[in-house]
Structure 1
C-alpha cells in the first residue's frame, strides 16, 4: 500500500517487502557474509529503482518491460557475488570474462539508477573522478598520477570493498536501512500526530506559534526520520499552510520548514545516519559522535526558534487561539507508549550496545507496539500493553542478544492473535511500514553505492593528498582561509547531492587537511558535515528549499535566501567549534570553559539573528543591526581580544536597546 492508500503494482510491492525482510533477517541473525549482503543490498536498490522510475526519471505507476528486465538482471548479478563468493575471493584482482561483464554492467546500472532517481549532479561528479582515474597521466604535474587501465578500475570499483560495495554501502546495508525502517514504523504507529499535538499544545498559542510548531515538530520528526527533504514534504504539508494562514509570508514559512527539517540531520541520536558513517570512517565510538553533535544541534534549533520569535515580533503576528490548541499532556497520556522505542533506542546506544543491535531492537519493539496495541484494544485490557512493555523491556535488558529472538517469537504470537481476530488493518500497518521503509531507503542507498566510486578512485590514485596539500599550504598562512575554502568546497559539492554522499566525498578530501592543520578529528569531520547540510539550503540548488516551494507557493530561490538567514547557526557554529573545540566537548578544557563557550555561542547566534531580522524588543536601526552582526563575528573567533571586544560591544548594544525600550514603555503609560 502506498501513502496515498492505492495498492502498488505487485512487483514493486513484493520487491520492497522482500528487500525489507532481507535486511531485517541479515541484521538480526547475520546468516551471510558482509560482502554478499552489500551486493544483494545494491541489487535490491537497482531492482526497485528500475520498477519505479522510467528512463527519463519519471515516476511509473507500473513497471515497464525493460525496467522489469533490468531489475531482474541487477538481482541476478547480485546473486553472482553470493554463488561464486569463494571463487571471487581466490582470484581477487584477476577477473575472468564473466567478472568483466558483470562488474562493468553493474557499474553502468548504478550510474543509470542514480541518474533516474536524483538527476545528473552526482553521476557527473562521479564520472569526472572515473575520467581522472583513466586519464590522469596526461594532466599537469600537480594533478598527474601513473594512470590506470579499465580492467584495474572495474576490479577496484565492482569487486573490492572500496568501490560500490565499500564502506558507504556497508553502512547503508546495515545501520541506515534499519533506522530508516525504524522511522517508517514509528510514523505508521502515529508518531507524527503525537509530535504535532505536543508541538501545537506547547507553543501554538505563543507569539508566532504556528512557526514554532513547525520548528518543534520538524525537529522531533528529524530525530527519527533523518531525511531533510522527506521531512519537508511530510510535515510541511501541515505546517507551511498553517504559518501562511496566520500571517507569515510564503517564503518565510517555506524557509522555516526547510531549515527545521534539515536540522533533524544534526540532532542525535540518528542524525540522518551520518553519525554511523562518521563513526565507521574515523573509527570513533558512535556515542562520542552524538555527544559532540548535541550542543551544536541545540544551538541550531535555538537559533531557528529565535528567528521565528523575532520575525513574529517584527510583523506583529500572534499565535493560535488557546482553545484550539490540544493539551500536550493529554496527548502524551494517550499515546506515551509511542515514545518507548525511541527511549529504548537512546538508552541502548548510550549503554554500550552497538547501533546495529539498538536499531534492531527499536524496530522490533515498535512492531510489537503496533500489534500489541491492536490486540489490547480488542481484548479491552488497557493495562495489557503497559504491563507487556515493562516486562518486555526488562526481558530485553536481561537477555541481551537473546532479546531479538524473543521479540521475533512475540511478534509471531501477536500476528496469530490478530489473524484470529481478522484484524487486517493492524497487520496492514506493519506491512505498509515495511513497504514504505524500503522506498524511503532508495535515495540514500543508491547515493551511497555511487559515491563509493569516488572513494575507490581516491584510494586508487591518491587524489585526496593533492587537494589536502593545497588546503594545508593555504592554512600555513591562515587557518581562516583554509576553513573558508573547505566550506565552499562542501557547499559546491553538496549542490544537488544528498547530505550523506556529500559528507562521504568531503570527509575523504577536505577533512584530513583540517586534521593536519591541528583541528581535532571529530571537529574536522563535523565541520564538513555541517556545510554539507547547509548546501541543501544554499541557492541556487537548495534541495530542501525547492521541496518547500510548491507547498508554500513561493519561489525556491527566495525560500533558499530566507533559509540562509534563519539557519545562520549552521554557518557560525562550525567555525566556533574549530577555534573553541569545547563547543563539541573536545579537548581538555574544564566545565567552566565549556560553559563560557556555549554562552558565547548563544550570544553570537542571538546577535546575528537580531541583526538579520532587525528586531529585538523594538525595531532596530540599520547601524544597530550592522554593529550587532559585527559583535557576533568577533565572538566567533577565539583570537586575542576578540572575545573581550565582542562581549563589551554586545553589552553596550543590548543595554542601550533595553533602556530605550523601558523609556518608551514609561512614556506610553504616562
Structure 2
C-alpha cells in the first residue's frame, strides 16, 4: 500500500507543486523532532499527525480519487482547514482534559468535520470499500438500539459518539494512529532513506549474483530481492511496484509466462510484511494491541516467514524444471561480493536496528538510531569520496563512529544536523549538494509513502471506537466461541473467511484491526495462544491481497506483467499455498511460532513436518518433481501433505508413510524411464 505520488517530481517540474514537497518535508521533520525529544503530549502528536495526513491528502488527491491530477484552490483550502482543526487539540489541550466527556458546540463542530474529512481522505486514497465498512460500524453505534435480538445495544447520544470517535483514545486518535505516528512513520522514512541511498540496487545485484545463474534464476532473484526489501519496507504493494519493475520483465525475458512472473513478484512482495526483523506496519500495531515486545512478534513470525519463502522458491524451482527454464549465463550476473564491497555501509543501519530490537530497546528508539545512522552513512560516503588514500578514509570512518556515539546521548537530531552540516561544508561541492538533495528527497518521499498507511489507521479508529462503545465485538466473538465449542476448525475457517472477504476491499492494516478486535479474542478463549491467535488473523489479512477476485498485490503487478490481475491472483494462490496452511498448523502446533513449552525438539519436528508438507504440496500443484508426475502421484502427494497437517491420531505416521511411498515410487519410475528418454 503506497501513495500514488512521489516527491521526486516536485523538484523536477513534474505534476506535484513545491507546496506539497515542502509540506511533506515539514511533516517528516515534525515526526523526527517529536520522536527524538518528545516535546509534546501523545494526544497532540496524534492530532497533528492526522492533520498533516489530511493536509497532504487534500493537496495531492483530487475529488474523483485516484492519482494526483492538480491541486485546486478548494483542495488547498480544505487541506489547510483540516490541519487547523487538528491544531484545536494542541491549542485547547488543557481545557479538553479538564472537561473530558462534556462536549461544547465548538468540540462538536471540530469532531464532526474532522470525522467527515477522515472518511473523505480515505475515499480519495483507497476508494469506497473501507469508508463504507467503517460507515456501517458508525451506523451501528448510532442506530444499534433499534436492531433486533442480540445485536441491540442500549443506545448512545450523538455527542457521546462524536466524543468517543473524535476526542477519545479509542477513536481516530486511538492505538492505530499512535503506532502510525510513532513507529510506522519512522520505519517508512528509514526505508525511504535506504532506497534513495541505493539499497534496492544492492539487493538486486546481490540476488542476481547469488541465484541468477541457477535453475529458474530470474524468478528466484524476484523472491530474494523482494524478501530483502521486506527488511526495510513492510508494504507488499510498494515492493511490487519497486522491485517488480525489474524482476517481472526479467522473468518474462527468460521464458516465464506473464501470469506466473507477476504472481511470483506479488507473492514474494507480500511476504515482506511477515519477514523479520522489520515487518509490516501490522506487526507494530499488534505489539501495542496485545502489549508484548515487538521482538516477541518478530520471533514468532521467523519460522513461518522462512516456510513462506521456502514455498515460493520451491514452486519457482519446480515450475522451472517443468518448463525447462534455466538461469542467466554466469558471466552476465554481477558479482555479489563486489556489490557488497561497494555498498557495504548500507547494511550497518539494518544490523544496528536488529541488534537494538533484540537487545530490548523500543521500536521507536531502534528506528531513530537506524535512521540517524543511515543519514550519517549517506553523508559520510559522500565526504569520504573526497579523501585520498585508504588510511584517511579509515580515520574518517573511525572519527565518524566516535562522533555518532557521543551525540546519541544528546539526541538523534543532533547527529543528523551536525554530520550533515559538516559533510556539506567539507565534501566536494558537487557531491555535498547532491547528497543533501538526496536526503531532502527521502524526507519528502517518506511522508508521501506514509499517507495511505496513516489515513487507514485513522479511519479504522471509527471501527474500534464503535465496537468499544457498543460492545459489538463481544457478540460476534460469542458466536465464534459457540461454533468453536463443537469444532475449533470451523471457528478457524470462519475467521479465515472473514479476513479474506474483508481483504477484498481494504488493505492489510484495517483488515487486521477489524478482525483482531472481533475474532482474535474469541480464538484466545478457545485455547489458542495469544500471539498465535493474532498471527492467524494477520496472515490471512496478507493472503487477502493475493486472493481473487480483488487481490491488491496481483493487480499492482498486472500492468507491469501486462496480464490480467485475476489470472495473476489465481497463480499467486497456488504459489503461496504455505501462507494458507501454516497458520492452521501453528494453531494445532504452537511450537511453529515458538510458543508453548515443549522444547526445541518439538519445534524441530513440527518444522520438519511443515517443510515436507510444503514440498509435497508443491509437487502436487505443479505436477513435477524429478520428472513430470502423473495424476495418481499428484493426488497421493496432496493426500500425504494433508495428513501431515491435520491434527488427528496417527495422521503423522500415515502421512510420513504415504510421502515415502509416493516420492520413492516417483524417483524409481523416473530413473527407470531415464534411459528411454535419452
Q: Distance in 2 between matches of 1:79 and 1:384?
A: 50
Q: Give the drift of 1:638.
A: 2.4
> d(CA) in 2 for partners of 1:455 and 1:61?
33
1:403-422 correspondence runs (5 A): 404=412, 407-408=415-416, 409-418=418-427
1:82 partnered with 2:90: yes
Where does residue 3 of structure 2 map in the other structure? Answer: none
Hey, what does 1:323 align to over in structure 2? 331
Deviation at 1:400, TM superposition (A): 6.2
Deviation at 1:384, TM superposition (A): 5.5
> Given the alignment, which residue of 20, 23, 37 partners 2:45?
37
Output aligned runs, 1:18-167, within 5 Å. Answer: 18-167=26-175
Shift of 1:590: 1.2
SS of 2:7's equivalent in the other structure is coil
CA pair 509-221 structure 1, distance change in 2 beyond 3 A: same
Q: 1:386–1:309: structure 2 CA closer, same or farther, 3 Å change rule?
A: farther
Alignment partner for residue 387 of structure 2, among 366, 376, 379?
A: 379
Identify which range, 75-84 or 391-400, moves more after superposition: 391-400
Q: 1:382 to 1:337 in 2, by over 3 A?
A: farther
Provide closer, same or farther for how the CA distance between residues 399 and 407 of structure 1 changes in structure 2, counting only shifts above 3 A.
Answer: closer
1:244·1:250 contact (CA, 8 Å) conserved in 2? yes
Partner of 2:182: 174
Provide the residue aligned with 2:619 in structure 1: 610
Q: Given that residues 221 and 264 in structure 1 are in contact (C-alpha distance below 8 angstroms), is that contact kept between their aligned partners in structure 2?
A: yes
Query: Contact 2:379/2:419 (CA < 8 Å) preserved in 1?
Result: no
**CA separation of 1:454 and 1:663: change in aligned 2, threshold 3 A:** same
From 667, 670, 673, the counterpart of 1:658:
667
Cα 1:320–1:99 change in 2 (3 A) is: same
**Alignment match of 1:345 (pick from 353, 364, 373):** 353
Render the CA deviation track for 1:116-155: whole Å, top value 9, x for unaligned.
Answer: 0000110000000000001111111121111122211110
Does the 8 Å contact 1:168/1:452 carry over to 2? yes
8 Å CA contact 2:174–2:461 kept in 1: the answer is yes
| Separation in structure 1 between the aligned mates of residue 397 and residue 532 of structure 2, nearest angstrom | 39
Question: Do the aligned partners of 2:37 and 2:411 also contact (CA within 8 Å) in 1?
Answer: no
Contact 2:145 2:153 in 1 (8 A): yes
Within the candidate set 630, 633, 656, 1:621 is matched to: 630
Pairwise CA RMSD of aligned residues? 1.7
2:12 matched to which residue of 1?
6
Aligned partner of 1:442 in structure 2 is 451
2:297 to 265, 273, 289: 289
Residue pair 2:169, 2:175 contacting (<8 A) in 1 also:
yes
Distance 2:48 2:22 in 1: 16
Could you say which residue in structure 1 is the equivalent of 2:467?
Answer: 458
What residue number does 1:569 align with? 578
Confirm or deny: 8 A CA contact 1:345 1:358 kept in the other structure.
Answer: yes
Partner of 1:649: 658
Residue 279 of structure 1 and its aligned partner are, at CA, apart by 0.8
Tell whether the 8 Å contact from 1:42 to 1:449 is kept in structure 2 after alignment: yes
CA distance in 1: counterparts of 2:639 and 2:399, whole angstroms: 57
1:271 to 2:279 alignment: yes
Q: How does 1:123-522 map to 2 (within 5 A)?
A: 123-381=131-389, 388-389=396-397, 401-402=409-410, 404=412, 407-408=415-416, 409-418=418-427, 423-522=432-531
Cα 1:401–1:626 change in 2 (3 A) is farther
Deviation (angstroms), 1:88? 0.5
Decide whether the 8 Å contact of 2:122 with 2:456 is kept in 1. Answer: yes
Partner Cα separation in structure 2 for residue 549 and residue 468 of structure 1 = 37
1:518/1:319 Cα in 2 relative to 1: closer, same or farther (>3 Å)? same
Once the two structures are superposed, residues 522-573 of structure 1 have per-residue CA deviations (whole angstroms, 9 ceiling, x without a partner) of 0000000000000000011100000000110111000000000001110010
- On the 8 A contact 1:376/1:382 being kept in 2, the answer is no
Over 3 Å counting, the alpha-carbon distance change for 1:347 and 1:633 in structure 2 is same
Distance in structure 1 (CA, Å) of the matches to 2:674 and 2:335: 34
What is the total number of aligned residue pairs between the two structures? Answer: 669
Paired residue for 1:554? 563
Distance 1:495 1:598 in 2: 31
Q: Is contact 1:373-1:385 (8 Å) kept? A: no
Question: Residues 156-192 of structure 1: CA distance to partner in whole angstroms, max 9, x if unpaired?
Answer: 0000110000000000000000000000000000000
1:540 aligned to 541, 549, 554, which one?
Answer: 549
Which of these residues, 530, 536, 553, is aligned with residue 539 of structure 2?
A: 530
Deviations 1:44-70 (A, max 9, x none): 000000010110004335411011001
- Summarize deviations over 1:405-458 as a string: whole Å, max 9, x none: 552333333244359667321110000000100010000000000001100001
Q: Deviations over 1:331-389 (max 9, x none)?
A: 11111111111111001111111110000011111111111111111233556565555
Give distance in 2, aligned partners of 1:275 and 1:484: 22
For 1:578, the equivalent position in structure 2 comes to 587
Secondary structure of 2:386's match?
helix
Query: In structure 2, what is the Cα distance between the partners aligned to 1:20 and 1:415?
Result: 21
TM-score if structure 1 supplies the norm length? 0.97
* TM-aligned CA deviation for residue 642 of structure 1: 1.1
Matched-pair contact (CA < 8 Å) for 2:423–2:432: no
Deviations 1:244-281 (A, max 9, x none): 11110000000000000000000011211222111110
TM-score normalized with structure 2 length = 0.96
1:635 aligns with 2:644: yes
8 Å contact 2:387–2:393 — kept in the other structure?
A: no
Task: Give the C-alpha shift of residue 234 in structure 1.
Answer: 0.9
CA distance in 2, matches of 1:122, 1:167: 18
Q: Distance in 1 between matches of 2:397 and 2:72?
A: 46
Query: Which sections of structure 1, spanning at least 5 residues, go unmatched?
Result: none
Q: In 1, are the aligned partners of 2:407 and 2:415 still within 8 Å (CA)?
A: no
- Is contact 2:266-2:557 (8 Å) kept? yes
Query: 1:24: how far off?
Result: 0.5
